[in-house]
């Protein structure tokens, strides 16, 4: 009986291209909480993601996918994916982000395997030329023909798909992202604060994300300069890694922020760092959802974030925190200072953020909605 039950499991192949960041954390949450009695899951990935998921004990298969468009390399990735699918039982292909989404859906479509797609932020919403935007919209329109269901993670992402004619509504599903509420809560981080040699009477302002142009970490460092000049008993921490690391280190040195700002790098325990924050910040130029904001809010931290894409559906302006135009350094700094200086405002926004995250961004709901879609195929 045990063998028969195992054989009846639905075999699902996750495909993603990309390094560490929100999409990888999203995949890790699904892998951890999806019903293992019902689903057998394999992940096609490469690089840092392959190493990390393999280390965590998940079933992974290596296929390299380059971020930029490269006809020869992309065709090689497609060939390798087709070889895997022909040799291995797969009931559903679930592709994530732009490159993995295109290659994965074409491969599944050619072999007539049911497939799902999660863009994690549309490529045409990036800070790119209008010519590239039109090209990416065209690609999404074409590849959506191979797609059975597109899962969007925010209302903005869903609405953009409708407005740009990416797919009919019957192909679209909205599953707003969620966080592990048991992991992110109102923990007291004083002990960890001491481990980082931050005085207990200092306030902490933090940001977490890849050090890339999308996240605009330079803006965060400029905010740190303004805030710490006005509020000396404050420490800024920037958690993440990426191609801008050297640029940011030079900025920190040039602005004499060495004692006021910590560049932490990647961490495996983000909840510890969020627990010591008083204010969370996200300076992204574009953002499908902004999962880290939900994590901060679930920990009772008011946030100051960019008013772009899916973020306004996560953060209610003037309720859970403040929203600013991207690159508005003075606006960001002004609102961070308000939260540091005005105790009543801070307490109100902290409680609102905490309650809102718990009501709207529970990971259990995300898992249930995914399983309902998986079971429909």
Residues 190-360, CATH architecture: 3-Layer(aba) Sandwich (3.40)
pLDDT at 4 over 80: no
β-bridge mates for residue 10, sequence order: 39
- Percent of the chain clearing pLDDT 70 (strictly above): 97
Residue 7: its pLDDT value, please? 59
Helical H segments across the chain, by residue range: 2-7, 22-33, 47-55, 71-87, 98-110, 130-143, 155-163, 190-195, 217-230, 245-254, 270-276, 291-298, 311-314, 329-341, 343-360, 363-375
In angstroms, the CA 366 to CA 375 distance is 14
Contacts of 81 (CB under 8 A, 6+ apart): 15, 44, 63, 103, 104, 107
Q: Model confidence at 174, in pLDDT bands (50, 70, 90)?
A: very high
Q: What is the pLDDT of residues 310-358, one digit of tens each?
A: 899 899 999 999 999 998 999 999 999 999 999 999 999 999 999 999 9
Q: Model confidence at 126, in pLDDT bands (50, 70, 90)?
A: confident
pLDDT at 244 over 50: yes
Higher pLDDT, 305 or 184: 305
Contacts of 323 (CB under 8 A, 6+ apart): 304, 305, 306, 307, 311, 312, 315, 317
Residue 122: its pLDDT value, please? 78
Mean pLDDT confidence for 122-146:
84
Q: Residue 265: which region, alpha, beta or left (left: phi > 0; alpha: psi -120 to 50)?
A: left
Residue 1: its pLDDT value, please? 36
pLDDT at 18 over 70: no
Higher pLDDT, 2 or 234: 234
Q: Do domains 2-178+362-375 and 190-360 have the same CATH topology?
A: yes
Higher pLDDT, 186 or 81: 81
Residue 5: its pLDDT value, please? 43
Residue 124: its pLDDT value, please? 81
Q: Looking at the chain, how many residues does it have?
A: 377
Cβ-in-10-Å burial (0-12, 13-18, 19+) of 238 comes to: buried
Half-sphere exposure of 344 (CA within 13 A, CB side): 0
The tokens for 40 are 């057998």
Mean pLDDT confidence for 106-127:
88
What average pLDDT does the chain have? 90
* Entry pTM: 0.81
Residue 367: its pLDDT value, please? 95
User: Which of 25-34, 166-175, 225-234: highest mean pLDDT?
Assistant: 225-234
In angstroms, the CA 87 to CA 42 distance is 13
Domain ranges of the chain: 2-178+362-375, 190-360
The tokens for 107 are 């491969």
Q: What is the pLDDT of residues 57-91, one digit of tens each?
A: 999 999 988 777 778 888 999 999 999 999 999 99
Report the CATH number of the 2-178+362-375 domain. Answer: 3.40.50.2000
DSSP 124: G
Mean pLDDT confidence for 155-167:
90
In angstroms, the CA 105 to CA 114 distance is 9
In angstroms, the CA 320 to CA 303 distance is 7
Residue 8: its pLDDT value, please? 84
Residue 15: its pLDDT value, please? 93
Q: What is the pLDDT of residues 280-307, one digit of tens each?
A: 999 999 887 888 999 999 999 999 999 9
Residue 149: its pLDDT value, please? 95
Are the C-beta atoms of 81 and 15 separated by less than 8 Å? Answer: yes
């Amino acid at each position: 009986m045990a063998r028969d039950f195992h054989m009846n499991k639905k075999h699902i192949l996750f495909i993603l291209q990309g390094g560490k960041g929100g999409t990888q954390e999203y995949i890790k949450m699904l892998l951890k909480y999806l019903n293992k009695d019902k689903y057998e899951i394999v992940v096609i990935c490469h690089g840092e993601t392959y190493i990390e998921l393999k280390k965590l004990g998940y079933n992974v298969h290596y296929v390299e996918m380059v971020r930029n468009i490269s006809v020869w390399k992309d065709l090689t990735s497609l060939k390798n994916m087709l070889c895997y699918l022909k040799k291995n039982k797969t009931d559903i292909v679930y592709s994530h982000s732009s490159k993995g989404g295109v290659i994965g859906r074409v491969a599944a479509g050619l072999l007539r395997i049911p497939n799902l797609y999660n863009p994690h932020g549309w490529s045409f919403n990036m800070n790119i030329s209008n010519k590239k935007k039109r090209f990416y919209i065209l690609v999404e329109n074409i590849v959506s023909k191979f797609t059975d269901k597109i899962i969007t993670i925010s209302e903005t992402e869903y609405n953009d798909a409708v407005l740009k004619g990416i797919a009919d509504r019957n192909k679209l599903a909205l599953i707003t992202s969620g966080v592990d509420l048991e992991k992110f809560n109102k923990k007291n981080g004083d002990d960890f604060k001491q481990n980082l040699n931050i005085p207990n009477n200092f306030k902490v302002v933090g940001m977490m994300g890849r050090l890339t142009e999308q996240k605009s970490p330079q803006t965060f460092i400029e905010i740190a300069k303004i805030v710490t000049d006005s509020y000396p008993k404050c420490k800024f921490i920037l958690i993440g890694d990426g191609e801008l690391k050297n640029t940011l280190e030079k900025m920190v040195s040039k602005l004499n922020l060495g004692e006021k700002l910590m560049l932490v790098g990647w961490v495996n325990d983000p909840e510890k760092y969020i627990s010591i924050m008083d204010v969370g910040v996200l300076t992204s130029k574009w953002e499908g959802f902004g999962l880290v904001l939900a994590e901060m809010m679930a920990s009772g931290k008011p946030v100051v974030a960019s008013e772009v894409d899916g973020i306004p559906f996560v953060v209610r302006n003037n309720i859970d925190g403040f929203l600013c135009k991207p690159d508005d350094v003075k606006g960001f700094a002004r609102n961070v200072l308000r939260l540091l200086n005005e105790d009543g405002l801070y307490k109100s926004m902290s409680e609102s953020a905490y309650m809102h995250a718990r009501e709207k961004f529970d990971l259990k709901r995300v898992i249930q909605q995914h399983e309902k879609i998986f079971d429909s195929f």
